[in-house]
Structure 1
Amino acid sequence: MDRILFTVADFAITLEIAAFAAAGLFAVLLVALLVVVVRQSRARSDEARQRAEEAEVLRLKSAETERYLADMMRIQSEMTGRMQTMSEIFGSRTSDLARLVNERLDSQGQRIGAAMQETNAKTNESLMKLQERLAVIDRAQSNIAQLSQNVVSLQSILANKQTRGAFGQGRMEAIIGDGLAPNAYAFQATLSNGNRPDALVYMPNGAPSLVIDAKFPLESWQRFTTAAEGEDPRFAASGFRNDMGVHIKAISEKYLIAGETADTAFLFVPSESIFADLHEHFEDVVQRALKARVVIVSPSILMLSIQVVQALLRDVRMREEAYRIQTEVRALLGDVGRLDERVRKLQTHFTHVSNDIGDILTSSSKVLRRGERIEAMEFDDARPDQRLAGE
């Protein structure tokens, strides 16, 4: 019994120890089996009890369900009777409703037909108007295409320095020509010093003429407005100021002649936007021009100035013609007096003629009465000379 079977960690396992260990293990397994059997029996008893409770619940529910089904059958029978009654009512109401719907549909069909005809007429009218508008749009598109061609040609014109100068000269000449009489201005007239300004406007009452110059330094302005990125705009602005100063000085020295031209000359700018930007960014240039007696004008300001000159010329012309108008009025008054005298004489002649006609009518009536008596053979005893004296 003390025979050693094996050794574990210096502990000798003998046959007796192994038998005790096997008996202990068997006892543990037996206890565990008993525990499992007890637990299973308890689970089965709980399950049986639960099934019994569920069977009772099902029995109660089945009884309740039978009562519910009985109630439902009763309610269903009542609903069947009610449904039959309602079906009869709905049948009669449906026939009435169908008749009313047919009548309404007929009337609505007639109204819809009339409305459709009216809508078709209005649609046709709208389509015709739309076609007219499309035709107008087509014409506008053609005008826009033509305008774009004109803009391209204008751009090509403005790209050239000479043609650009002619463009400004043309706008100025058009404004002056539209506002003044041909004898009130002159283009490219020669002054006493040999210089030839672009336009010369003759002022009334022998006043000195007004000089207008259209040579605006547009290239310098374009260099300032189109300065590339990275360039200094102050350099382009300085170049424009220098060009404007030279041009203003030339106008002041060449065209301002005492006794021959006005004390102030006009420098024409052919664009309203350039005129506005010039006053916004180059106020010093404008002030320099005013000190040199040169006024920078835009197309609208030049047009307003020409209208003022036109009004002055018209006023002077009216004052010059005032004496002639008075003479004509006096002659007209004399003619009216003679006409009144002759009308009065004619009225006197008409009065005499009216009296003579009255006498003639009196004699003709007497002759008519005498003839009637002769025709009726009505004679009295009086002698003819007495009857004539009586008549």
Structure 2
Amino acid sequence: MDEFSSAFSVPVAQLGATTLTLGQLLSGGAILVVILLVLLVLGLWRSAQARALAAAEAAERAREFETRMSEIMRSQAEMQGRMGTIAEVFGSRQAELTRVLGDRLDGLSSRLGQSLTEQTKSTHENLAKLQERLAVIDTAQSNIQSLAGQVVQLQQILSNKQTRGAFGQSRMEAIIADGLPHGAYEFQATLSNGNRPDCLIRMPNGAPDLVIDAKFPLESWNAMRDAGQAGHPEAAKSAAQAFRRDVEVHIRAIAEKYFIQGETQDTAFLFVPSESIFAEIHENFENLVQRAHRSRIVIVSPSLLMLSIQVIQAVLKDVRMREQAHLIQGEVVRLMEDVGRLDDRVRKLHSHFSQASRDIDLILTSTEKVTKRGAKIEALELSTDEEASEKSRGAASAPANGRLRLHVVEDPD
């Protein structure tokens, strides 16, 4: 025992200033074990309580889970019903949409086909019109080619002085021949002085003839135009001076050759065969125009010559009408005599008709009287002088011829 007690009293640990023996350690260990046991029991109780609480929470969670699952199943069932309804609505809408799309596609196809047909028809018509226009263009092109050939021929004609003069002469003759009657003019006539103007217009009432000259100096005009187109101002200026000089010489020649007192008019026409040349002269050569006016020579273009011819034609027509005035007056006198005789005959016929109308009225009156008398005769009443009681006396006093008397009332008419 002493050994055990001494053994329990042996120091085994030093905590600061305190020395711990084995016995103290063993007694403290027992207490520690008790404490540990108590703590273990408390831990087991707490763990059991925690497990119970966890089991309760798990059960509660299971119940919540089942509730949520039932709600989810119910929602799923509702969702499936809604999905079925949506599927049915979607199917019906899809069928309707398919039908509408089919109708629209059919209408679109028909309109597209109709539009294609109309477009094809319009294209054919346009192609036909285009072919017609191409044919017209071909015809116009052929006409242009022929016109170009004629222009070349005209250029060849105008390049020669004699042929150019013949061209102006022919154009002047065509205008005069179209506007005046035959016999009112004469081409290349010979005057008393031996000169031969291009044309003489026979004026009415014994008036002197009108002279028309068609020999316009186109050579100097063409030279001036060519110099201007070539861009040579000096050459153009000299050509213009030459043209002015040639025109002045020609105006003086007309005044000297064709003005004869009592035979020709104191005014003559200088014919220019082109409107453009006529306009150029009046625009850039005013002094030539004034010189011609002072010489009593009128420069005329084709249009002015045509207008002058129309005026002369009107004058000739008025003269012919004045010449025929006495014939017209005689015819009017005879016409008035015929009208007078017609008036007398109409008056006689009217009197005959009036007499016949009166006779017809008298005849109608007589026929009415005859009709009335016939009606009265038809309604006559036959009677004796006495009644049946006086037959014997009536027989004795009756006329010998046995006739009955008629009681007739005369018509005062």
**What TM-score, normalized by structure 1, do the two folds share?**
0.65
Going from structure 1 to structure 2, the CA distance change for 1:232 and 1:334 (only over 3 Å counts) comes to same
Q: 1:367 to 1:118 in 2, by over 3 A?
A: farther
Determine the C-alpha separation between the residues in 2 that align with 1:252 and 1:341.
67
Letter in 1 for 2:102: N
Once the two structures are overlaid, the 10-residue window that deviates more, 153-162 or 217-226, is 153-162
Aligned pair partner of 1:240 in 230, 240, 243: 243
Which whole-Å CA distance do the structure 1 matches of 2:271 and 2:168 have between them? 8
Q: How far apart, CA to CA, are the structure 2 residues paired with 1:317 and 1:292?
A: 32
In 2, the alpha carbon distance for the partners of 1:360 and 1:120 equals 87
Residue in 1 that maps onto 2:291: 288
CA deviation profile, 1:276-324 (whole Å, cap 9, x unmatched): 1122222222222222222211111111111222222223333333333
Structure 1 residue 167: Cα displacement: 0.7
Q: Which amino acid letter does the alignment assign opposite residue 188 of structure 2?
A: Q
Kindly state the Cα deviation for residue 338 of structure 1 after the two structures are TM-superposed: 1.1
Match of 1:263, SS state, is: strand
Name 1:192's counterpart in structure 2.
192
Residue in 2 that maps onto 1:105: 105
Higher relative contact order (CA 8 A, sep 6+): 1
The alpha-carbon distance between structure 1 residues 302 and 350, as it changes in their structure 2 partners (threshold 3 A), is same
Give the corresponding residue for 2:169: 169
Equivalent residue letter for 1:331: R
Aligned positions, number? 305
Task: Give the Cα separation in 1 of the matches to 2:316 and 2:307.
Answer: 14
1:179 lines up with 2:182 in the alignment = no
Partner secondary structure for residue 207 of structure 2: coil
2:256 alignment partner AA: E
Given the superposition, is the C-alpha separation of residues 349 and 117 from structure 1 closer, same or farther in structure 2, using an over 3 Å criterion?
farther
Question: Counterpart in 2 of 1:134?
Answer: 134
Q: 1:378 to 1:134 in 2, by over 3 A?
A: farther
Cα distance in 2 for partners of 1:379, 1:133 equals 102
Q: How has the CA–CA distance of structure 1 residues 118 and 197 changed in structure 2, closer, same or farther, with 3 Å as cutoff? A: same
Structure 1 stretches of 5 or more lacking a match?
A: 1-80, 370-376
Q: Which aligned pairs between 1:306-325 and structure 2 lie closer than 5 A?
A: 306-325=309-328
Q: Distance in 2 between matches of 1:122 and 1:137?
A: 22
Equivalent residue of 2:265, what SS?
Answer: coil
Q: Residues 358 and 170 from structure 1, CA distance in 2 versus in 1: closer, same or farther, beyond 3 angstroms?
A: same
**Which is higher, the Rg of structure 1 or of structure 2?**
2
Pairs within 5 Å for 1:74-113: 93-113=93-113
Instruction: Give 1:169 shift.
Output: 0.5
Please report the RMSD computed on the Cα atoms of aligned residues, expressed in angstroms.
3.7
Return 5+ residue gaps in structure 2 as ranges: 1-78, 373-377, 383-403
Query: What is the distance in 2 between the residues matched to 1:358 and 1:125?
Result: 80
Name the SS for the 2:264 alignment partner. coil
- Corresponding residue for 2:153? 153
Superposition pairs of residues 38-117 of structure 1, within 5 angstroms: 93-117=93-117
Q: What CA deviation, in whole Å up to 9, does each residue of 1:204-227 have, x standing for no partner?
A: 333322111000011111111112
Displacement of 1:275: 0.9
Q: 2:349 aligns with which of 335, 346, 359?
A: 346
Aligned CA distance change for structure 1 residues 380 and 144 (closer, same or farther; 3 Å): farther
Shift in Å at residue 229 of structure 1? 5.1
Of the candidates 328, 331, 335, which is equivalent to residue 328 of structure 1? 331
Which residue of the partner structure matches residue 20 of structure 1?
Answer: none
Name the CA distance, whole Å, in 2 between partners of 1:94 and 1:212: 99
- CA drift at 1:335: 1.0
Alpha-carbon shift at residue 255 of structure 1 (Å): 0.4
Report the residue type matching 1:183 in the other structure: G
Change (3 A) 1:194 1:117: same
Partner in structure 2 of residue 206 of structure 1: 206
Cα pair distance change 1:288/1:362, threshold 3 Å: same
- 2-side partners of 1:288 and 1:236: how far apart? 19
Instruction: Mark the CA change 1:351 to 1:264 in structure 2 (over 3 Å): closer, same or farther.
Output: same
Deviates more, 1:179-188 or 1:134-143: 134-143
The letter of the residue matching 1:328 is E
Distance 2:188 2:379 in 1: 107
Deviations 1:324-359 (A, max 9, x none): 322222221211121122233334445566677788
